[in-house]
Amino acid sequence: MKYELQGGTLPVVICHLENGETMITERGSMAWMSPNMKMETSTNGGIGKAFGRMFSGESIFQNNYTAMGGPGMIAFASSFPGTIIPFEIRPGQEMIFQKSAFLASEATVRLSTHFNKKFGSGLFGGEGFIMQKVSGEGIVFAEFDGHVVEYELAPGQQIVLDSGYLAAMTPSCQMDIQTVAGVKNMLFGGEGIFNTVVTGPGHIWIQTMPLSNIAGVLAPYMVTGK
């Protein structure tokens, strides 16, 4: 499988498949494709894995697209202005994504549920107690909100993020929460009560425009109608 990324901040990934190659998408993100792409919907792994994917922000069913009778082409578009990033997954090189980040992958990649070890991180950290774990072998495409900034954290090195900004991390990273210092800061600082703290070693991806923040900004206008 070969691919190309186009579209800037309204991204799309165009995948070029050899005969018999299959791509998987979770939520009907197919934008266009060649006529010889055959679609088949399934739970891909049974009901147990299907419900696990549902808890990690995806649908129960997956769509499999296979090139039949020759090379095929299929394009997957992002659902929100942002960034599509390809990750090469190998045994021992898994990835942890925020909920709903999975866009599409080769059929040899597996999507499952990842539980944060510290329950408080999920309740108050903004990234969720349940995240997505990607394993297996192959290319996976993830969609993130806005632009993406990356950091490599040394052992014990920490970075503090506002809720919702953590997009992805390697499994070696640890995620926790901390309260904002000072009552006035909590009540009037406008940054919320909790921050997310990620501790290395490992690599992290930070998104610059979380969809949850956009929804919060637009909510007053939706209520008033102005």
Q: Give the pLDDT confidence of 131-181 residue by residue, as tens digits.
A: 899 999 999 999 999 999 999 999 999 999 988 899 999 999 999 888 766
Distances 55 to 75, 105, 116 between C-alpha atoms, Å? 26, 19, 13
- Write down the pTM of the prediction: 0.83
Q: What is the pLDDT of residue 28?
A: 73
**Residue 106's CATH number:** 3.60.160.10
Is the Cβ–Cβ distance between 195 and 160 less than 8 Å? yes
Q: What is the pLDDT of residue 194?
A: 79
Q: What is the Cα–Cα distance from 223 to 115, expressed in whole angstroms? A: 34
Distances 54 to 26, 62, 69 between C-alpha atoms, Å? 10, 11, 33
Q: For the chain, how many structural domains are there in total?
A: 1
Q: Two tokens at 162?
A: 């506002």
Least confident range of 29-33, 51-55, 82-86, 152-156: 51-55
- What mean pLDDT comes out for the span 193-208? 92
Q: Residue 26 — very low, low, confident or very high, per pLDDT cuts 50/70/90?
A: confident
Q: What is the Cα–Cα distance from 182 to 225, expressed in whole angstroms? A: 35
Range of the domain at 113: 2-224
Is the CA virtual torsion 122, 138, 13, 64 positive or negative?
Answer: negative
Q: What is the pLDDT of residue 129?
A: 60
Given a cut of 60, whether residue 106 has pLDDT beyond it is yes
**Partners of 23 in beta bridges:** 65, 106
Is the Cβ–Cβ distance between 158 and 198 less than 8 Å? yes
Least confident range of 43-47, 71-75, 173-177: 43-47
Task: Count CA atoms closer than 13 A to 171's CA, side-chain side.
Answer: 14
- What mean pLDDT comes out for the span 97-108? 93
Q: What is the pLDDT of residue 61?
A: 80
Least confident range of 26-30, 72-76, 136-140: 26-30
